[in-house]
Structure 1
């Protein structure tokens, strides 16, 4: 089975990790600074290497996210068209409660822009959307037990 691993670059992944830990209650946080040799390879000054991040990551609601100051040599753009969606298992009451608590924490933090409140939707599921301070767009989705296909048009 293939796995999709979101990998996001930041101006300072170290700062981003602290933000996600504080605001998103991220867990399993790790970070590897660049070595002197890696800095030379990227033509980066080797002072303050402890503030750089070659590879790092965290989990949110069990989803693994990877971060770096350099994702495949390119920078992340705040006007990107990528959205990360966390889908909750609608057969797991603990996950459903964790998602509700997660959304309330984000909402109350005033550290994200809520673009769609996490609420029941016309298709029977629950969905919310928000943008973090780095411009990363996120969705939180609880799918319905059964999809009401009358809500969708024929393709």
Structure 2
């Protein structure tokens, strides 16, 4: 089974994913606009430019995906802490690189530190309101 995180944004999905791409690297495997969808002529020009689907591979088994909401279709975005993206790098150095890169311009909840359960862990909210956990387990 694969688990992929899907995020919703309010008009800045592509901006967020361009930022994430600077940290993770790689290339988008999809980047479609609302204007490419059937009946797009019913959308405003602003909504046509919103992201219908964007995806960025983070590893062979994990893909980060997202779209923008469409207000004229009754969508609204409620940012909250009900979901985190939990990433598990393969080294302490990679954990620090990801944490420092993704948290830039955001709000750190717990700085990276050795934890009582034996892992090296930190959490933050990035500048787009997405909650992240970085967890390195030296025994894995």
In the TM superposition, residue 51 of structure 1 has moved relative to its aligned partner by 2.4
3-state secondary structure, aligned to 1:14 = helix
Distance of 1:36 and 1:145 partners within structure 2: 47
* Aligned CA distance change for structure 1 residues 136 and 38 (closer, same or farther; 3 Å): farther
Structure 2: 5+ residue stretches without partners = none
What is the distance in 2 between the residues matched to 1:26 and 1:14? Answer: 15
Secondary structure of 1:16's partner? helix
**1:151 alignment counterpart:** none
TM-score by length of 2: 0.75
Q: Deviations over 1:5-35 (max 9, x none)?
A: 111111121222233234x344323411121
Q: Distance in 1 between matches of 2:124 and 2:92?
A: 18
Q: Secondary structure at the match of 1:117?
A: strand
Partner of 1:9: 8
Partner of 2:50: 52
Query: CA-to-partner distance for each residue in 1:44-83, whole Å, 9 max, x for gaps?
Result: 22x2566221110224467421010149x85442124111
Matched position secondary structure for 1:105: helix
What TM-score do you get using the length of structure 1 for normalisation?
0.69
Gaps of 5+ in 1: 90-94, 147-155
**Inter-partner Cα distance in structure 2 for 1:14 and 1:106:** 15
Residue 98 of structure 1 corresponds to which residue in structure 2? 94
Q: Determine which of 133, 136, 140 is the counterpart of 1:139.
A: 133
Greater Rg by CA: 1
Q: How many residues align?
A: 133
